[in-house]
A = this chain, B = another copy of it.
Amino acid sequence: MDFTKAETVLDLNNIREALVRMEDSIVFDLIERSQFFSTPTVYEPNHFKIPDFDGSFLDWLLLQVEKVQSQVRRYQAPDQTPFFPDKLLPSFLPNINYEKVLASYANEININDKIMQFYINEIVPVVACKDGVQPENIGSVADCDISCLQALSRRIHFGKFVAESKFRSNREYYTELIKAKDVAAIEASITNSAVEEKILERLVTKAESYGTDPSLKYSQNPQSKVKPESIARLYRDYVIPLTKTVEIEYLLRRLEDPE
């Protein structure tokens, strides 16, 4: 997939391949996060006194990271979605000529707030090695959190490419559904239960395989650093449904853009 060439980005095989590859990154990031305690202080608004800032410790660190990354054009890329879109900085680098792939309102489809809530409330308790706080690790915790959140956000907002690809390959059919605001039919058209089942099976094997030191396989009975079934459940209950939310939000507005 080459983001400077639209046809490669809308090829469903390429999209599928990219989504499968992203599972690896997400599992790696969750494994890294599993080294640390749940650390709820990191997520509690204003638990730490941060000068000139209203929000959680994680919010503060994530904002700093986005400010830095925006300066190297991260959020010009159509597959990146910022958590703080109003606070980004300009880049000193020349602009990239991305071919127009998504509809003009694509950047407005941003469900990072929902992703943040799901991450804090559902993922952290499942993945953290223990409940509680080690005050000396809050920076490391938030650092891992940011990697997880960015990987999840990219995966979930990739639904925009799926939606655009489906729209273009069946323009008349979708135009009708969108005009009728038929959310149920749109959702049915983007749901493939057999594929979803495969994703979940694959996640179990990945969480098992990447989370277990392979050199211990025969000598001991090692447990994966993350619970494979739990990772698959998080995908089933949140990642996949949130991706569909993105796809549906995107499709419902698709007629705003005549192209």
Contacts and interface: CB of A to CB of B under 8 A. Distances in A.
A110 to B, nearest CB: 20
A49 interface: yes
B213 A201 contact: no
Interface stretch (A118-126, A132-140, A229-237): A132-140
Interface of A: 2-4, 20-21, 24-25, 28, 31-32, 35, 48-51, 57, 61, 64-65, 68-69, 71-74, 77, 92-93, 96, 98, 134-136, 138-140, 142-143, 201-202, 205-206, 208-210, 212-215
Contact of A68 (B48, B68, B71, B93): B68
Given A21-B35, A24-B213, A77-B136, A61 B68 contact: yes
A48 to B, nearest CB: 6
Counting every copy of the chain, the complex holds 2
B96 A135 contact: yes
A208 B213 contact: no
A25 B213 CA distance: 12
A213 to B, nearest CB: 7
Query: Sorted from nearest, which 9 A-B pairs have the closest CB atoms?
Result: A72-B139, A209-B214, A202-B215, A28-B28, A205-B214, A64-B68, A96-B136, A205-B215, A210-B210
